Structure 1
């Protein structure tokens, strides 16, 4: 059994040697110049084809619990793309939208079209469901806690990140969104009551909730809104625990 565990454990993708073999580019002199609009378009199309390829989706699936590994994979893809076209710096690709903000091809780019936030991904040290269930059990008697299901962050048909994470398509009608919410609650024994955002994404538009955020509303006013860390770009649920503890102390609960 111990031998099987060793065999099935994914390799350390953070290792320089491992990450460098994800994609390879023929060695040649690379340019520091800015590419033309047409070249940037071709870069984006090529990157999209790589991200959606079966091999990359399998890698994302394999490392879906390792945020650092996912970052290495996606960074390696972008670096490969710019070098494939004869350029040196990945910012050539990442700055495409700022250089050509009105170009329809770039605006439809895979990670631009489906990305609804600029503050990064959520990184939690433990199971989000377990943590939220604990929160609900601890405080449900003193305050109303709700979860709101919004648009999928990594839908299978829009921004897939491996088959484990991207297991459903983006709902196009309310009943599909409701069905996803019901299935999630049942599958993961999610205890907190769950509401569903409208198909106009009213809640997300109002509160900026994508892909994950938490808030406190007291006496009809928004008094706490989670902000991502300045260096990690992740949300820390300890901040919410601290706010609740302070609230209890103030109210002598």
Structure 2
């Protein structure tokens, strides 16, 4: 994601939405190692903010603009985004790219191609 931001960040607005933690230690699929922070699933807004900050630092994306989903996971549910997913909102405000669910559907190279295509597309009014 950091590479995409460096490549396209001057042309489009990037926004990371931190949703429900995918691999919390108290979840069905805890993840340890591979640089992932060892965290419990947040139960308060303050805990979610702290975990989001840890995860962004571990992924080296703390410089990307980020918002945090509410504890009720409304954004994650609305976009079927768990555990992670990539979207591109086009110039016309419609979804121009919707990647598959991660980790197997998480394909930044496809998003990059969609960004280039969207930047060259003319919007009819």
TM-score range, shorter chain: 0.7 to 0.9
Of 153, 160, 169, which aligns to 2:40?
A: 169
* Deviation string, structure 1 residues 92-115 (Cα, Å, up to 9, x no partner): xxxxxxxxxxxxxxxxxxxxxxxx
Task: Give yes or no for contact 2:96–2:118 (8 Å, CA) kept in 1.
Answer: no
Of 54, 61, 74, which aligns to 1:202?
A: 74
Of 94, 102, 107, which aligns to 1:221?
A: 94
Partners of 1:187 and 1:234 in 2: CA distance: 21
Deviation of 1:217 after TM superposition, in Å, equals 1.1
Which of 1 and 2 has higher RCO (CA within 8 Å, sep 6+)?
Answer: 2
Kindly indicate whether residue 33 of structure 2 is the aligned counterpart of residue 147 of structure 1: no
Superposition TM-score, scaled by structure 2 size: 0.80
Alignment match, 1:181: 52
Partners of 1:135 and 1:203 in 2: CA distance: 22
Partners of 1:188 and 1:163 in 2: CA distance: 14
Superposition TM-score, scaled by structure 1 size: 0.42
Deviation of 1:154 after TM superposition, in Å, equals 1.6
Give 5+ residue unaligned stretches, structure 1. Answer: 1-131
Give 5+ residue unaligned stretches, structure 2. Answer: none
Partners of 2:8 and 2:50 in 1: CA distance: 27
Partners of 2:76 and 2:58 in 1: CA distance: 24
Q: How many residues align?
A: 118
RMSD: 2.3
Q: Which has the larger radius of gyration?
A: 1
Alignment match, 1:109: none
